[in-house]
Each structure stands twice: as structure tokens, then as C-alpha cells.
Amino acid sequence: MLSRLQQAGIFLHAFIRTRYGFRFSNRAALENWQQRRVSHFLQSCAQHIPYYRAFAGKPLPEWPLMQKEQMQQHFAELNQAGISLQQAQQFGLTAEKQRAFSAPLQPGIAVGLSSGTSGQRGVFLVSDKERARWAGVILARVLKPAHLRQLLNPFAKPLSVAFLLRANSKLYTTVHNARLHFHYGDLQQSLSALVNWLQGVQPQILIAPASVLAALARAQLQGSLQIQPQQVISVAEVLEADDKLLVQQAWRQQAGQIYQCTEGLLAYTCEHGQLHLNEEWLHIQPHWLDDERFTPEITDFGRETQAFVRYRLDDVLRVSSAQCRCGRHSRVLSAIEGRQDDVLWLPAADSSMQPVFPDKLRHLMMQLQPAIEDYRIEQHGIIWLIRLQEATQLTAEQISALQHQTAAALFTLFLQQQLQAPEIRFAGWEAMPAGQKRRRIRCQQSPHKE
């Protein structure tokens, strides 16, 4: 275990390096830096991670591609402590059940659980050193200059951060100290309970999943919530255009994003509002789906306790061709579109299956607002099941007209993309259980898998 002084040193080093260092002259310089870090990291992995000993001396492309199923199958061989998947899961689930997240599994090693978007909850291990480094990196990425000055001024009030998530973690509470008050809001609570809690906290920085931010923004606009955050950050879910609009209306803030998952901190919103991949700390190899969309393959050269080498994510990212004014040479994302099973599929005229990417559907559904407050689209083979949550109480005739308008807009999209239309069915709205991650668009079964 590291002493508090040692952790403070690691935190400060990561913060200063991330905030003020990493000034690469061009993209090639950044990639050269990555290659040096990856080379050193692979040497360490071959020595300390049992699963990778046979790959000592080999270049990264010759190391095996890793996905969640393999990671879980070989969990004990992929971490330095030899902790089994069962041990880690049991410890994490017990902590979540008891809502007690501060204890380590082993001295100096904490356990965290992902939110389980794919149906299988991810498990991650982090050491004291990695937690301190993560805290330094995350604060360097998100703190506005005014908040940093407040944090450093011993005569100013502590910076107040409200962080709402399904489960807390020792990783997240690393940032709590005398100058930064980290308040965890448990999403297992009701919205009214969270509203009352936030009234007491009065956070300067509000961090929550996009759907929760939207619900809180509505509460603010309706007058039941009265807070004035100076920064609003979305985590854990796809931030959509209607979420951004609600945040802007409620608090006059542009919602930023932190793209954090089991595999590490993948992306963040810079001071100019652009979403950058965290390539100064990660090697990210794109697997291209088309000219602008890809799924990422991650090698996290900052993690030692649990190795993530050539780890393939199911997330679909859309890259931007624009150069950001902030001067960083890391890739800029236009959007995090969701998971690969958020992509729907329809046959073209030649019977080949073509993707319908979520951004097309999100844009279409935005055109129906303010008539609808929320929606879900699920594909079950040739059937698309659609649920609409109306913004106001509607008559049966008005609901029928709204459904007809939705179907007509979808059929126009299919015609434009020269796709064969599925069978459209509508069902009643069903609220999500408390704390469950929002997924508005999902392919349960594609037509070619029937």
C-alpha cells in the first residue's frame, strides 16, 4: 500500500503532466510517444502478467486480441494479484448491495463494477497508484480555470462536486479531500429524493448519466429543483441532442462528456467543447465500420494491476475531421453513437444487409419533439417495436396521430436510404428501473440472424 504522501505525489505528477504537458507538435509526435510507452508497457506485461509471458519480445500486433468473454475467462491470469473473477465479482456485488464502497479487496487494490450495458457486468481492479493517477488525469481534463483557482486557494470555499451513478467506487472517491468535496448520489434512489439531496449539496459541478441530467433539468425548469451548477458533465450514457438542449435551457451550460468505462478513461470534452480521445494515456486502434465510424481497440499503457492489451470494445465512435482549436493532436469525436448492438439492420434492394446507425434515428426522433419526452426503438428481426413517452397527456386520437407521424418519418428515411421497410409496431411506454442505463435504440435480433 502507498502512503498518503506517495499518493499525493502521483496525483500531482499526473495532474501537471496531463494539464500542462503532452504538448506534441503534430500527430506523428503523439504516435511516436504512444509507441515508446506501449513498448515499455508490453515488456512489463510479459514479466508480470501470467497470460502474456509467452508474448515477450513480440510487437503489439502479434499479441492476442482480447474481448470481454476472454477477459473474464482468464481474469486471474490477467491481473498481477491473481485475483479470480469470482472473488472480484462477489466483493463488488456485496459492496453494491450494502452500498458500502470504501473497502479494498486486498491491501492497495480496489474493485469496481461496470453498469452492465451489454448484459454482462464488467469487473475492474485498480491499485492505489492507479487510483491516484486517474484522479490527477480526470481533474486535469475537466476542471475549469476558475475551479482550479478555487481549489488552490486555501481561503476559498471547497469545490463541491455531485456525482450521480448506479454504484460508487473507491476509484471515484479518490478525488475527495479537504479542498474538493465529492458528493455521491445513489441512482437507486427516487428522482424526488435526488432532487432534495441536490438542493442541500448545491454542487458547482454536476456529473450524471445523460438521462438523469435530462430528468434533473426538467425538474429545474419546473421549479422543483433550484441549483446553479457552473459545469455539467455527462457520463455512462450516450449524450443526445435533446439532453444537451435541456441542460442548456435549465442551467445555461454546455454539457461536457467523460467517456469512462471498465477499460479506462477513453475520452473527455476539452475547453473548446470538443470530445477528444484520451490518446496521451491510451493507444487506440480503430476498426473502421465505414469512412467515419469505428470500434476501438484499447491498449491502456497506464494500467499495471489488470492488463488491457488490444482490448476490443463494442462501442461505435464517429470521428470528426476537424482540427480542434485547443491544439491537441488526439482524435476528435463527433459522437459516441453507442454499442454495436445499437446499430439496426435492414435489407437493401439487392437483399444485402445495410446498417441504420443510431445517429440517423436520433435526428429523426428529435424532429418529433416537443410532442415526445422519450422513446425506445427495438429491432426484433423484421419487426421494429417502438415505445413513445408523450410529453403531455394526449387523447387516444392524438396518440394515434403521433404514432402515424413517427412511422411516416421512418418510412421516409428507409426510402432515402433505399432500404426495405420493417414492420413497425407500437407499444405502451414502460419506465426503466431506477439506476438502469438508458439505451433508446437497440437491436435485439437482426433479420439475417433469424
Q: What is the pLDDT of residues 13-70, one digit of tens each?
A: 999 999 999 999 999 999 999 999 999 999 999 999 999 999 999 999 999 999 988 9
- More confidently predicted of 11 and 432: 11
Considering the domain architecture, whether residues 246 and 382 belong to the same structural domain is answered as no
Considering the domain architecture, whether residues 257 and 285 belong to the same structural domain is answered as yes
Instruction: Work out the end-to-end distance of the chain between its first and last CA atoms, rounded to an integer number of angstroms.
Output: 53
pLDDT (average), residues 285-300: 94
Lowest pLDDT segment from 39-48, 300-309, 368-377: 368-377
- Count of domains forming the chain: 2
CA dihedral 367, 371, 376, 380 (to 10 degrees): -80
Considering the domain architecture, whether residues 223 and 202 belong to the same structural domain is answered as yes
d(C-alpha 406, C-alpha 394), whole Å: 15
Report the run of H or E that residue 28 belongs to, with start and end.
helix 27-48
d(C-alpha 301, C-alpha 307), whole Å: 8
Residue 120 pLDDT greater than 70, yes or no: no
Find the radius of gyration of the CA atoms of the chain.
Answer: 23
Domain boundary among 313, 339, 365: 339
Q: What percent of the chain has pLDDT over 90?
A: 58
d(C-alpha 125, C-alpha 441), whole Å: 30
pLDDT score for 171 = 59
Considering the domain architecture, whether residues 252 and 384 belong to the same structural domain is answered as no
Q: What is the pLDDT of residues 378-396, one digit of tens each?
A: 999 999 999 999 877 888 8
Kindly report the CATH number assigned to the domain that includes residue 351. 3.30.300
The model's pTM: 0.82
Considering the domain architecture, whether residues 326 and 360 belong to the same structural domain is answered as no
Domain boundary among 339, 358, 389: 339
d(C-alpha 205, C-alpha 419), whole Å: 44
Considering the domain architecture, whether residues 197 and 333 belong to the same structural domain is answered as yes
Considering the domain architecture, whether residues 243 and 387 belong to the same structural domain is answered as no
Q: What is the pLDDT of residues 212-253, one digit of tens each?
A: 999 999 999 999 999 999 999 999 888 988 899 999 999 999
Considering the domain architecture, whether residues 330 and 358 belong to the same structural domain is answered as no
Considering the domain architecture, whether residues 292 and 349 belong to the same structural domain is answered as no
Considering the domain architecture, whether residues 166 and 193 belong to the same structural domain is answered as yes
Considering the domain architecture, whether residues 352 and 289 belong to the same structural domain is answered as no
> CA-CA distances (angstroms) from residue 241 to 214, 248, 424?
11, 11, 24
Kindly report the CATH number assigned to the domain that includes residue 109. 3.40.50.12780
> CA-CA distances (angstroms) from residue 105 to 40, 81, 127, 169, 280?
28, 11, 10, 12, 29
Domain boundary among 339, 355, 382: 339
Considering the domain architecture, whether residues 70 and 167 belong to the same structural domain is answered as yes
Which domain range does residue 419 map to?
343-449
